[in-house]
Structures are given as structure tokens and as C-alpha cells.
Amino acid sequence: MMRIARHGMVILALTLLTQLGGIAWIIALFFRRRLIVFLLAYAGLWTLAYTTSPRRALPCFGEPLRMQSPLYCALNRHYVAPELASVAQDAATRMAITFPGTITLALDGGFPFMDGMPLIPHLSHDDGEKLDFAFYYATPDGRYLPGQTRSPLGYFAFENTPPENCPANSLTLRWQLSWLQTLLPNRPLDGPRTAALITQLAADPRVSKIFVEPPLAARLGLSHPKIRFQGCRAARHDDHIHIQL
Ligand SMILES: [Zn+2]
């Protein structure tokens, strides 16, 4: 009974994290050399997703657009609708023309299959029509750092503009993660590049909404009807940019 519960937990965790990892674990349960079979089965399912998903996988390497870390690719979190993939490519290309050498980094997109299955912890990333981008960062003396973020996975390095006024609420996803903030390097936001990317995304007719924390948008001098506050229940958006079709 305990064993069944334990495997159930593993299958659930792998499914929530990677969509296909739980299936690979179920396959591995039929074999003695479980870990190796799991890795082989996962590699097979990964390749199957890559070749048959109705969504498009964003590039894991290269320029001017790539996932912030190959980990996003390994976990199947880099899939978006073909139209959104073009939006991201076009924005990254224009950024590299305006600011030569700029590398635009994408964060969580969506899973390869199944509309309606959210990419935890992003409840809205459930149909391939949502994508997050990392901010651009610079050295303390203002030199742009190509392809680098402030935190290891691009999320959770909050800009300390005064936060949007939200009531204290235990249901909120507005994590503060204060312990993490003190560990992160001093790497200021590259304001001109970040503002230019948001402006370009707002000008793209295929994009319907962009979430940026309002005080940060104000600090970057941005104002556009598509640039919105995501609400107090959702995660903070002063560490990344969220767009949707
Ligand atoms: Zn998002």
C-alpha cells in the first residue's frame, strides 16, 4: 500500500513538472533497472513530443532567441502555439537589430500536448497561448550581460520598486522569497532593453495582453492599454514579462 502511494506521488510530481515524465515512470515500473528504463522512456517520449506536438518548441540554444536554460527544454516546458513562437522570434530578431548582440530569453511557455492542463505554478499557461520572457540585465556599471539573468532560472529576482498594494492573503501566489533576494548577485535591470522588448510586444497585433507589475512599468516609462496588472491573486510580475495571444 505504501509502495503504491509512493509511486503515485512520483507519477503525479513528474506529470506536473514535465507532463510526460509520469508516463515514463509507469513504463519503468515494469522493469528491474528502473532508473535507466525511466531515462530511456523519457527520452523517447521527449522526442515523440518534439516531432508530433501541435505546438512549436522554442529554441533551446542559439541566438537571438533561446530558452533561459536547457532545463526548460528537458522538462518539456518550452512549447507554444506556432503563432506565439513567431511573435517571440520576431520580437527577438527586432531586439537584436535595435541592440546588436542582444539575446532574448524565454521562460515557461507550455507543455507539448493537451489544452487545459496548466503548467504549474502558472495556472494560465494551459493552452500554448502564454509565454514568459526574462528581463535583460547589466553589470553594476551598466554593461549589458548577453544571455544572463539575475536568478538561476530567470524567475524570482524581484525588482524592488515599491510593490503594488495588495492585501495580505494566504491564497496569494505573490511570493516574496526574501531569503532568496539576499543571495542573488547585484545585477541591475537593463531598463532600455527591457522597455524596448515590452514596447515591441505591445505593438504586435497578435499579442492581446502583457503582464508587468504597474510600478515597474511606470519606472520603465511604459504605458499601453495592453500592459496590465495581473491581479493580486497571481504571481508577481516584477521579475519577468508575461504575454498572451
Ligand atoms: Zn506567465
**Per-residue pLDDT tens digits for 213-242:** 888 898 999 989 999 888 777 777 889 999
CA distances from 50 to 65, 126, 181 (A): 18, 18, 35
Pairwise CA distance, residues 58 & 72, whole Å: 10
% of the chain at pLDDT higher than 70: 94
> What's the CA-to-centroid distance between 131 and ligand 1, angstroms?
6
> What's the CA-to-centroid distance between 125 and ligand 1, angstroms?
6
> What's the CA-to-centroid distance between 13 and ligand 1, angstroms?
20
pLDDT, residue 203, reads 95
> What's the CA-to-centroid distance between 37 and ligand 1, angstroms?
33
> What's the CA-to-centroid distance between 183 and ligand 1, angstroms?
24
Query: Exposed, middle or buried by CB within 10 Å (0-12, 13-18, 19+), for 205?
Result: exposed
% of the chain at pLDDT higher than 90: 73
The string of pLDDT tens digits covering residues 49-75 is 999 999 999 999 999 999 999 999 999
On average, the pLDDT of the chain sits at 91
pLDDT, residue 128, reads 94
> What's the CA-to-centroid distance between 230 and ligand 1, angstroms?
10
> What's the CA-to-centroid distance between 28 and ligand 1, angstroms?
33
pLDDT tier at 164 (50, 70, 90 boundaries)? low
pLDDT, residue 238, reads 87
Question: Would you give the distance in Å from CA 134 to the centre of its chain?
Answer: 8
The string of pLDDT tens digits covering residues 14-55 is 999 999 999 999 999 999 999 999 999 999 999 999 999 999
pTM of the complete model: 0.89
Residues 6+ apart with CB under 8 A from 113: 19, 49, 53, 54, 55
Residue 200 has pLDDT above 80, yes or no: yes
> What's the CA-to-centroid distance between 96 and ligand 1, angstroms?
23
pLDDT, residue 165, reads 67
pLDDT tier at 123 (50, 70, 90 boundaries)? confident
Amino acid in position 196: A
> What's the CA-to-centroid distance between 30 and ligand 1, angstroms?
37
> What's the CA-to-centroid distance between 1 and ligand 1, angstroms?
38
> What's the CA-to-centroid distance between 40 and ligand 1, angstroms?
31
Q: For residue 131, give the 3-state DSSP assignment.
A: strand
> What's the CA-to-centroid distance between 185 and ligand 1, angstroms?
24
> What's the CA-to-centroid distance between 43 and ligand 1, angstroms?
27
> What's the CA-to-centroid distance between 184 and ligand 1, angstroms?
22
For residues 186-210, average pLDDT: 95
| Bridge partner list, 131 | 243
